[in-house]
Structures are given as C-alpha cells and as structure tokens.
C-alpha cells in the first residue's frame, strides 16, 4: 500500500478497498480508518452557525459526539466496528437499510465511555464494504463530501 489518505469520494473508496486488501494480505487483526479532524473551510462557517444556535438552545448533541473524538471505523474478520452517539446509531440503522448484507451483531454501551460501540457483520466484497464505510462517514458522522480519511492502521 503506497498511499494512506484520500479526500475525493472515488479516491476514498479506492483507499478503503486497498486498505482491506493490505489488511487481508498481512493477516492483521483489523484495519482502522480515521476521518481527518480538519474540516474544509466551506463547511466550517455553516457548522459554526449551527453550533452557535444549538449552544444557545442548550440542546447540543455535539457534546456527546465531541466526547467520542475523531470518527473512526475498523474492519476485521468480516466485521465493521465503530463508536457512535445514540443519534448517530439511529442514522446508522437507516444506512444499514441500504446494505442488506450488513447487520448489527452487537451493541456495547460501556459505562465508562460516552456513546455506543456497534459491531456490524459485513458479508460482502471489498467494494461494497468500501461503499458502506464511506456512507458511515458521510451520513452517520455527518462529514462533508470532501472530508479526508486516513488509513491509520492496516
């Protein structure tokens, strides 16, 4: 594997497929994909306005999302693993409706951690897994279409 990040949608999916292939070749326990914590400038202005409005109302779900840190997705042995808030979990369930070969196997709610850990069986080829992972970053974590992702562990 020669590249470890991508920002364009098609390039991100190629990165996911390459990372899955490298993970399988190496026989590693899992691979980890992580969203870059830098947000494109075009998204920052709109995000600041929305955040300010939520903070004024005192109803920010972003606080629990912030506690979870930078969005990440792991894949290993046919399982996708990720952390999410309760609201993100609802969105994840909607995304899963578009991927019938994927299903939630286990939800863990550790007392010492904010959010939910979801383990999803992914009985599909690398391309379909790549589509699912990208949809998770875009829809579940609500990232802009031009976000950068890193393969941080393969």
Over residues 58-67, the mean pLDDT reads 48
Residue 141, classed as helix, strand or coil, is coil
Residue 109, classed as helix, strand or coil, is coil
Q: Whole-model pTM?
A: 0.82
Cβ burial of 11 (10 Å; 0-12, 13-18, 19+) is middle
| Residue 58 pLDDT grade (very low, low, confident, very high; cuts 50, 70, 90) | very low
Question: Could you tell me what percent of the chain has a pLDDT over 90?
Answer: 73
Partners of 122 in beta bridges: 102
Can you tell me the distance from the alpha carbon of 130 to that of 12, in angstroms, rounded to the nearest whole number? 8
Q: Please state, as a whole number, how many other Cβ atoms lie within 10 Å of the Cβ of residue 16.
A: 26
Q: Are 35 and 72 in contact (CB under 8 A)?
A: yes
Mean pLDDT of the chain: 85
86-144 confidence digits (pLDDT tens): 999 999 999 999 999 999 999 999 888 889 999 999 999 999 999 999 999 999 999 99
């Amino acid at each position: 594997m020669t590249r470890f990040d991508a920002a364009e949608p098609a390039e991100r999916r190629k990165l996911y497929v390459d990372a899955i292939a490298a993970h399988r070749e190496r026989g590693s326990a899992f691979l980890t994909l992580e969203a870059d914590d830098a947000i494109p400038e075009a998204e920052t202005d709109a995000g600041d306005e929305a955040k300010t409005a939520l903070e004024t109302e005192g109803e920010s779900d972003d606080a629990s999302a912030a506690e979870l840190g930078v969005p990440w997705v792991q894949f290993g042995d046919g399982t996708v693993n990720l952390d999410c808030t309760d609201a993100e979990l609802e969105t994840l369930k909607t995304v899963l409706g578009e991927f019938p070969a994927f299903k939630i196997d286990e939800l863990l709610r550790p007392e010492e951690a904010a959010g939910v850990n979801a383990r999803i069986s992914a009985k599909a080829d690398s391309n379909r897994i790549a589509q699912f992972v990208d949809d998770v970053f875009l829809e579940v974590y609500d990232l802009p279409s031009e976000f950068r992702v890193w393969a941080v562990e393969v």
